[in-house]
Amino acid sequence: MRIEDKVNIAYEKVNTAAKKDNAEAKKQVDKAASESDRLVLSNEARKVAELKDAVRSSPDIRQDRVNEIREQIKSNTYNISGQKVAEKVVNAAIDDLF
């Protein structure tokens, strides 16, 4: 047997042992992490999470409001505030700048 072969065999044994040790170390780290890691939310963070859930679960279109405005348009009672329209146009323009 040549020296190169002995070196290769030794390298393979060391490499195999290192892989085994790494796998065992990973198991120990995972076990320790699962036993000690916990997520604790503050009351404020819980409220934010609840609000986000409420927004996600609400419909994109408020059909009751759409029906109400349709009826107002049909009966010529729908009034548009020029000032509110102007404010929204200005605010949209400002938002586009930033």
**Domain residue ranges of the chain, discontinuous segments joined by +:** 3-97
Q: What is the pLDDT of residues 59-91, one digit of tens each?
A: 888 899 999 999 999 999 999 899 999 999 999
Three-state DSSP class for 33?
Answer: helix
Give SS3 for 11: helix
Predicted local confidence at residue 66, as pLDDT: 94
Burial class of residue 95 in the structure, from the number of CB atoms within 10 Å of its CB (0-12 exposed, 13-18 middle, 19+ buried): exposed
The model carries a pTM of 0.35
CB neighbour list of residue 61: distance below 8 Å, 6 or more residues apart: none
Structure confidence by residue, pLDDT tens digits, 24-40: 766 766 666 566 666 77
Tokens of 47: 């409220």
